[in-house]
Amino acid sequence: MARHRDGISNTVKKTLYADAGNKCANPGCSNRRTHIHHIRQWAVYQTHDQQHMIAVCPACHDAIHHGKIRIDDTIVYHWKAISRSLNQIRGHIYVEPGAPAKLLLGTIAISTSQNALIFQLSPFNRMKFSIKDGDILMLELSICSLEGRELVRVVDNHVKHQSRPDIDFQQIPGSVRVIAPSTEEFIPSWVGQHMRLHEPDFADNGRMITLGISVLTPGVARIEGVWAQQDKAVIITQAHLSFLLPSWQQPLSLVGAGEESVLYYVPSGIIDLPLFGF
């Protein structure tokens, strides 16, 4: 008679997820959806021994069991031995190459042949992107709190932010979202009031998309987010690319027809000049 297979305890699962950095344990994989793999096969040992289990994503799990390029146990134990910090959350957004490569900001797209500095409120509150080899889009940006503490950074499509219980990091293939409280730590109250003139539901639940990156088609990624300082802000939603100053009665918002409404940025030379400035 076959032995009943007991479930893995939640405590063991949480420990294994944490050991892997709350992502796939494969250092070459950024997938955050994971399975528990028995390195010592259950069918042989029939035990949930934490020392011989690891958190891996479904794709890597399948490669371990059935891959044409076999991932053997020595490699898997090597992954398990990697020490990871939980103070930083890291992810990666893959943009399938495609031309013309461009960023969709609200309903206006930005394109360039090389590099484009879109805006820079400060060295730690900025967005730019570059095109490599004609069709590879590489995003670079940073978002900080009103006191100048970095909240999230993207370098060549690699995303990282400091782990905090009040900030949600959500990732599926092709999409990353960082959701934070719409408090005075991250956004002045006047910015929310001005934005709700155009979008009444902006941050109406006390939360806001601080950064959202979604791949739409090859070479095209949509950006949402909040870049704010006490005296100015740039807010990007799916509907608007908005610029805000306290003295303005409402946001200055740019609206287009989507991917086909394109602003083309021509690099100016040695000095990066932002496409949008205050």
The whole-angstrom separation of Cα 39 and Cα 73 is: 7
Which 3 state secondary structure label does DSSP give 191? helix
Domains of the chain: total = 2
pTM above 0.75, yes or no: yes
Give the Cα separation of 52 and 211 in Å (integer): 37
Q: Tell me, yes or no, whether 122 and 253 share the same domain.
A: yes
| Full DSSP string of 220-256 | EEEEEEEEEETTEEEEE-SS-EEEE-TTSSS-EEE--
3-state secondary structure of 197: helix
For 194, the enclosing helix (H) or strand (E) is: helix 189-198
**Residue 237 clears pLDDT 50, i.e. is over it:** yes
Coil, helix or strand at residue 209 = strand
Confidence of residue 1 (pLDDT cuts 50, 70, 90): very low
The pLDDT score that the predictor gives to residue 5 is: 59
The per-type count for the chain, helices as H runs and strands as E runs, is: 5, 18
Task: Say if residue 64 is in the same domain as residue 187.
Answer: no
**Using an 8 Å Cβ cutoff, are 213 and 139 in contact?**
yes
Give the dihedral sign, CA 252/109/238/184: negative
C-alpha 247: how far from chain center: 32
Q: Is the Cβ–Cβ distance between 184 and 146 less than 8 Å?
A: yes
Residue that is last in its domain, among 84, 115, 142: 84
- Residue 88 pLDDT level (bands cut at 50, 70, 90): confident
Q: Which of 38, 56, 84 is the last residue of a domain?
A: 84
Identify the pLDDT of residue 49: 73
Q: Which distant-in-sequence residues (6+ apart) come within 8 Å of 77 by Cβ?
A: 39
Q: Are residues 19 and 65 in the same domain?
A: yes
- 122 C-beta neighbours (distance < 10 Å), count: 12
End position of a domain, from candidates 84, 112, 145: 84
With respect to residue 249, please indicate whether it lies within any of the assigned structural domains: yes
